[in-house]
Amino acid sequence: MSAEDFFQQDLDIDRRSAGKRATVRRLVRYAMLHKWQLLIAIAMLAVAVGTNLAGPFVAKRLIDVHISGIEQPWYEASGPDAWTVEYGGRLYKRADHFAEGEARGGEVRILQIGRDYYFIPQAIAFDGMRSVDAEGRVVIGKDGRTAVYPAERITEEDIFRFYRPEVDGMVRLCLFYFGLTVLSAFFAYGQRYWLQAAANRIIFRMRNDVFAQVNRLPVRFFDNLPAGKIVSRITNDTEAIRELYVTVLANFFTGGVNMAGILFAMFLLDARLAAICLVIVPILAAWIWIYGRFARRYNRVIRATLSEINGRINEAIQGMSVIRAFRREKKIEEEFEAYNLRNFVYKNKLLTLNSLTSWNLVGVIRNLAYVAVIWYFGAERLTGPEAVVSLGVLYAFVDYLNRLFDPIVNIVNQLPNLETALVSAERVFVLLDEPGEDVSDERRPRFGGDVEFRDVWFSYKEGEPVLKGISFSVKRGQTVALVGHTGSGKSSIVSLLFRFYDPDSGSITIDGVDIRNIPRQALRAHMGIVLQDPFLFTGTVLSNITMGDPRITRERAARALAEVGGERMLRTLPRGIDEPVLERGSTLSAGQRQLISFARALAFDPAILILDEATANIDTETEAIIQDALEVVKKGRTTFIVAHRLSTIRNADLILVLDRGVIVERGNHESLMAQRGRYWQMYRTQHGEAQAADSAAGAEPLKT
């Protein structure tokens, strides 16, 4: 399969998702697993938003009551109290500070014109455009009418005297506003903490689910999807989903609650203009929908190419020695650059989309809203008996309008992360939806070891069988050898026995029980396998033998290693059985890795032992050690040996010769040699090569 086919396959896997709505529903279900933390976060968010939005109302009262309130009517007071002001030898008190039924004297007014204040010793008929004539009189004009009033310019000292009764109220409001700010900050911190704590728990659970799903998937799945792509889904994609819960939802929740609270406050201030501002909501919804249609398409390609890049990097690192040995560095770079270029191109497309639909567009809508406010609040509509709003209401409305666009900007800025997270979630859920098999904790008694294949057919690809009607039986304690040229089906038989795959037809039984009726974990608990290329994990020699199973003690592991002839290996390791092992055992020789693999299989005391060309990659001396050890450890076990070196299977009870998925010969060594068939030809060929090598070395020829 070509690189392009792999890439297209990855995109096809993504497209199997049930769609955006299904993805969102599943993300919500994951969130509901930690709903109490999320509810706490939302409750704290509501308090934080409420306390934060109370600020403009405080400012409105501060302006309208305590600052602009000086222009309310003043009346002469009968006696001094906390609200009276002495001016010109008389006491005056503002209209809103008179108690009910309290006597009032003549009305006076204080009006601001420009930066100066003027005292008018009488009531005014109407308010409008104010000015001062050459004689120092106040002139008020409105709708073609003009009124002239005698006035006296007030000094700064006298102005402060009129404001002094309001100072305590202003200080209390400022302290109240400061308290609201502190309270808002506290609850905002709590909201972020609980939301991120919930998000971390959600992703913790999701990653565990994804990794558990990987353990549930059949081996066939990994034939079609490279390891790097799976790693990308477990790490990169789940991290993108974490950003959804931590950053995206935080901004959407905060923005949504803020917008709702701001619009509610706007309706309290002025319902007509607030209704006009509601137009912003459908604009934002349409914006998100249009953006999502394009961004999701680009993000799918970006995530698929990133997955492919991870797969290529993983493959290149694993095969670096082969790449350099065959001087394929340039070719690998070209393939990598092709995917990297695709990723670059689509990221630029996404960047262009983000630039067209990001803050600049918000700025345009914001400016249009300001124009609407300016048009609606004409200068002449702020004053007079028919005034629409007070100065404090105008300030509060402009403040709320400005605040309204802050959450919109935050939401718009998170749209790229939202679409990235949704595409990543689709990829993760596709992996979770792959059919798998639950890991079973069932335990069964140790097998006797009787194995039978009955007319087994098997194919990796439909219509291309690699095993055709395989039938044979093995008694407990016997040793069976599988031989044949490459591609004859030897390893496929072993894979079926171990239930890495299930046959297309026919049956495989152990002690008379079809292995398909035995959970895979229960089946493998009594089976051991040693592969041609053993895989060692990062840890120590001991941990690679015990595989973390508490039932395998240190003494048992050391004994298993000794039984396969590992004493000499331990003497060469500075820390013995506690010697550190790097990834894949890169610091150990092939023979040492194989000895550890043998010890691992034997430590679990399997009833059935499978050796899949286990001695193919080790030196002759190590092979001789293992062969001697095997003669001991094979006792009481049914052993399957896949071998190319026929000299290692001469003592097998049954030798099966395969050719193109069919058993063409069967018997022990002597009977097969007597048939002078395919086995005889293979043995003679290898025997002849061995004699030639020994003759060249001056050694005595082998004898049959």
Q: Cα dist. 661→451, 467, 493, 644 in Å?
A: 19, 4, 9, 16
The C-alpha atoms of residue 196 and residue 668 are separated, in whole angstroms, by: 67
CB atoms within 10 A of CB 410: 17
pLDDT over threshold 80, residue 229:
no
Residue 255: what pLDDT? 79
Give the pLDDT band (50/70/90) at residue 360.
low
Residue 452: what pLDDT? 93
Strand order in the sheet with 654-659: 527-530, 608-612, 638-642, 479-484, 654-659, 662-667
CB atoms within 10 A of CB 28: 10
Main-chain phi, psi angles of 113, to 5 degrees: -130, 115
Give the pLDDT band (50/70/90) at residue 509.
very high
Collapsing DSSP states into helix, strand and coil, what is residue 312? Answer: helix
Beta bridge partners, 529, equal 610
Look up tokens 């092709």; give the residue: 338
| Residues sharing a CB contact under 8 Å with residue 211, sequence separation 6 or more, in sequence order | 234
Q: What is the pLDDT of residues 110-167, one digit of tens each?
A: 988 888 899 999 998 888 888 998 888 999 888 788 999 999 999 888 888 888 888 8
Q: Which of 643, 626, 639 is nearest to 528 (CA)?
A: 639
The C-alpha atoms of residue 336 and residue 329 are separated, in whole angstroms, by: 11
The C-alpha atoms of residue 304 and residue 293 are separated, in whole angstroms, by: 17
Q: Which of residues 450 and 651 earns the better pLDDT score?
A: 450
Q: Return the amino acid letter for 608.
A: I
pLDDT over threshold 70, residue 543:
yes
Are the C-beta atoms of residues 452 and 654 closer than 8 Å to each other?
no
Question: Where in the chain are the domains?
Answer: 3-32+217-432, 70-168, 440-526+644-692
Residue 15: what pLDDT? 47
CB atoms within 10 A of CB 264: 12
* Tokens of residue 431, six digits: 């992996």
Q: What is the DSSP string of 293-305?
A: HHHHHHHHHHHHH
What's the whole-number mean pLDDT along residues 583-602? 79
Using the Cα atoms of residue 397, residue 402, residue 403 and residue 408 in order, give the sign of their dihedral.
positive
pLDDT over threshold 80, residue 342:
yes
Q: What is the DSSP string of 381-414?
A: GSSSTT-SS-HHHHHHHHHHHHHHHHHHHHHHHH
What's the whole-number mean pLDDT along residues 248-277? 78
Strand boundaries in 15-57, DSSP class E = none
What's the whole-number mean pLDDT along residues 6-26? 58
Q: What is the pLDDT of residues 565-576, one digit of tens each?
A: 777 777 788 888
Are the C-beta atoms of residues 109 and 120 closer than 8 Å to each other?
yes
Look up tokens 């304690």; give the residue: 477
Are the C-beta atoms of residues 450 and 512 closer than 8 Å to each other?
yes
Look up tokens 């069967």; give the residue: 666
User: In angstroms, how far is CA 655 from the centroid of its own chain?
Assistant: 52
Residues constituting the chain:
704
Mean of the per-residue pLDDT values for the chain? Answer: 80
- Name the helix (H) or strand (E) containing 613: none
Residue 211: what pLDDT? 84
Look up tokens 């008379």; give the residue: 512
pLDDT over threshold 80, residue 473:
yes
The C-alpha atoms of residue 409 and residue 181 are separated, in whole angstroms, by: 22
Q: What is the pLDDT of residues 630-674, one digit of tens each?
A: 776 677 789 998 887 787 788 889 999 999 899 999 999 999 999
Beta bridge partners, 10, equal none
Q: Dihedral (C-alpha) 647, 653, 658, 662: value to the nearest 10 degrees? A: 180
Cα angle: 567, vertex 572, 576; to 5 degrees: 65
- 691 by Cβ neighbours in 10 Å (0-12 / 13-18 / 19+) ranks as middle
Q: Which of 642, 682, 669 is nearest to 482 (CA)?
A: 642
- 391-432 vs 280-318: helix axis angle to the nearest 10? 40
pLDDT over threshold 60, residue 83:
yes
* CATH hierarchy code of domain 440-526+644-692: 3.40.50.300
The C-alpha atoms of residue 219 and residue 200 are separated, in whole angstroms, by: 31
Q: Return the amino acid letter for 681.
A: Q
Are the C-beta atoms of residues 601 and 480 closer than 8 Å to each other?
no
What's the whole-number mean pLDDT along residues 219-227? 71
Using the Cα atoms of residue 259, residue 265, residue 270 and residue 271 in order, give the sign of their dihedral.
positive
The C-alpha atoms of residue 603 and residue 316 are separated, in whole angstroms, by: 34
Using the Cα atoms of residue 221, residue 227, residue 228 and residue 234 in order, give the sign of their dihedral.
positive
CB atoms within 10 A of CB 217: 16
Look up tokens 């439909």; give the residue: 462
Are the C-beta atoms of residues 596 and 561 closer than 8 Å to each other?
yes
Q: How many alpha carbons lie under 13 Å from residue 507 in its C-beta half-sphere?
A: 10
Identify the CATH class of 3-32+217-432. Answer: mainly alpha
Q: What is the DSSP string of 62-99?
A: IIIIIIGGGGS-EEE-SS--TT-EEETTEEEEEGGGSP
Q: What is the pLDDT of residues 377-433, one digit of tens each?
A: 654 454 444 455 566 677 777 777 777 777 777 777 777 778 778 888 888 888 888
Q: Which of 459, 534, 450 is nearest to 495 (CA)?
A: 459
Q: What is the DSSP string of 492-538?
A: HHHHHHTTSS--SEEEEEETTEEGGGS-HHHHHTTEEEE-SS----S
Residue 454: what pLDDT? 94
Taking the CA atoms of the chain, what radius of gyration do you get in angstroms?
A: 42
Using the Cα atoms of residue 184, residue 186, residue 192 and residue 197 in order, give the sign of their dihedral.
negative
Are the C-beta atoms of residues 53 and 260 closer than 8 Å to each other?
no
Q: How many alpha carbons lie under 13 Å from residue 425 in its C-beta half-sphere?
A: 27
% the chain with pLDDT above 70: 86
Collapsing DSSP states into helix, strand and coil, what is residue 103? Answer: coil
% the chain with pLDDT above 90: 10
Q: Cα dist. 619→501, 536, 624 in Å?
A: 32, 19, 9
Residue 618: what pLDDT? 65
Residue 657: what pLDDT? 93
Beta bridge partners, 117, equal 112
pTM of the model: 0.63
Q: Which of 296, 257, 262, 290 is nearest to 278 (CA)?
A: 262
